Structure 1
Amino acid sequence: MAHIIITKIEASDWSEIIQGHFRAFQQEPFQQLIHGEDTPRNQQIFKERSLKQFATQSNSIWLKAIDTNNGRKIVGVVNYKLKPAYVPLARPELKMEDMIWLEDVEDKRILDVMFRDIVDRKLRLLREGHIELDALFVLPEYRGQGIASQLIKWGCDLANHLMVPVWLEASTMAHPVYLRHGFVDIEHGHYVMGKWDVEYYVMRLEPKALEVKVKMEN
């Protein structure tokens, strides 16, 4: 029986995290497009990009769920980006020549078009202080045990303390999970381009309260 604890991710965890990410998203088209096929080369490319973000994004919180009954195996991961005060989001750039994990030029063109549209939607919608649930996965063999729910609850509790909403972009696979946690659909995107069929939802969770009653003591 699994015994799960949630703790912070360390730099030494990233090889295991990347391997788990590819396993968790092997049926998710956009993840295959944005990270490529599961090969040692693409794992290394993704690891280097992730380590750079891990070391430079001071507003980013990475957490892991580990099974202490299975050698402290990393069975789930979540990333939250804290943006409690509204500042216009910077536009992330992804040039076609940087898509070194993709070999097909047509795939690169499709990702370029899709990425620009996804970013445009995000910049248009996210105009408030918030917490962004940026990444979440649980290994296939550990699903259905409430691990994803605990990782989601952690961020939602933090957002309630900060009195800001949580925003995220959900795949069709994850969409029902977030609905159960009270997230609502804001917009729906669907792209059918070449061999790719990518569908996702922009979702938002309102904080429980925007003010806190203070109990006065004598």
Structure 2
Amino acid sequence: MQPKYTIRPATPQDAPHLAHINITAFEPTPFWRNLFPNLDRTATYPLKLARTLTKLVDGGASHLLVAADPATGRVVGYARWTLPGPSGPPSPSLSLADLPPEHAHLVTTFRRDGDAALPPGTNRAVHRHFWGELDRLKAKYLREGDFVLEFLATLPEAQGQGVASALLRWGLARADACNARVYLEATAEGYPVYRKYGWRDLEVLELDFAALGGRAERQRWVVMMREGPGGESLGGGGGGVGVGVKN
């Protein structure tokens, strides 16, 4: 029986599709509305494309996986896993020379400018506070050998069709093979799926956007950890944990 979705490493050719999925999945959320107030896709797309391409080129412990329809090849979801040490296959080796010139320029500019690459009109207070909180939480809960699910998103029309489960199983099989814990920060939409696969709550992160110069609304994320199959784990193979940008 043919699998419903093919899970494979992302390629530079996938990057525009992944940027589109990122925006489509998160654009309706309070976080997006307050981080990018009154900004349309023409403003946010270059940033998301640059981040995706940079993750692909930098590789290392970061693994970008796509879920594709085996009949059409259409990419309907993707995930970014951070794996410690030798816990998984190495990310495909890419360099700027492997990218079209316009995409290589995006990566070079993003690496050089950092936060200055944010589109004009970004609420920088929301940006600083959110990613500062993510760094604080990772420092609090992560230890050597932990896996991290940094990102998972699917197209709305593909939700409820097993895309997220297929992307989760890729990383969980590798984590379970070395009895490693898996950390993530869950949105309300993803929370039931993560509970189903064994994650448990650690802490709630809540942003009050009005206090950060935004609208009078809030959003919550649940910080979660999934223990290895042996219970309380000493982590997987050696090496540090790379912690990247959630969105």
Smaller-chain TM-score range?
0.7 to 0.9
Query: Are residues 31 and 126 of structure 1, via their aligned partners in 2, closer, same or farther at CA, if it must alter by over 3 Å?
Result: farther
2:16 & 2:36 partners in 1: Cα distance? 15
Q: How far apart are residue 187 of structure 1 and its match?
A: 0.8
Identity %: 24
1:4-44 CA deviation, whole Å, 9 max, x = no partner? 21111111110111112211222223345567744123211
Structure with greater strand percent:
1
1:123 is matched with which residue?
139
1:15 is matched with which residue?
16
1:110-163 CA deviation, whole Å, 9 max, x = no partner? 322332223212211112321100110111111111111121122111101122
2:154 & 2:115 partners in 1: Cα distance? 31
Residues 96 and 108, structure 1, Cα contact 8 Å, conserved in 2: no
1:174 is matched with which residue?
190
1:38 & 1:74 partners in 2: Cα distance? 23
Aligned partner of 2:177 among 158, 161, 184: 161
What TM-score do you get using the length of structure 1 for normalisation?
Answer: 0.81
1:185 is matched with which residue?
201
Mark the runs of 5 or more structure 2 residues left unpaired by the alignment: 87-112, 235-247
* Higher-RCO chain (CA-CA 8 Å, sequence separation at least 6): 2
Query: Are residues 187 and 160 of structure 1, via their aligned partners in 2, closer, same or farther at CA, if it must alter by over 3 Å?
Result: same
1:97 & 1:172 partners in 2: Cα distance? 27
Query: Are residues 38 and 132 of structure 1, via their aligned partners in 2, closer, same or farther at CA, if it must alter by over 3 Å?
Result: farther
1:49 is matched with which residue?
51
Q: How far apart are residue 173 of structure 1 and its match?
A: 1.2
Query: Are residues 158 and 32 of structure 1, via their aligned partners in 2, closer, same or farther at CA, if it must alter by over 3 Å?
Result: farther
Question: 2:83 aligns to what SS in structure 1?
Answer: strand
1:61-96 CA deviation, whole Å, 9 max, x = no partner? 111111133x311001011101259xxxxxxxxx99
2:79 & 2:206 partners in 1: Cα distance? 24
Task: Write out aligned runs for 1:58-207 (5 A).
Answer: 58-69=60-71, 71-83=72-84, 98=116, 100-103=118-121, 107-194=123-210, 195=215, 196-207=217-228
Mark the runs of 5 or more structure 1 residues left unpaired by the alignment: 86-94, 212-218
Q: How far apart are residue 97 of structure 1 and its match?
A: 5.5
Residues 172 and 199, structure 1, Cα contact 8 Å, conserved in 2: yes
The amino acid of 1:197's aligned partner reads R
CA RMSD of aligned residues (A): 2.5
Q: How far apart are residue 99 of structure 1 and its match?
A: 5.8
Aligned length: 198
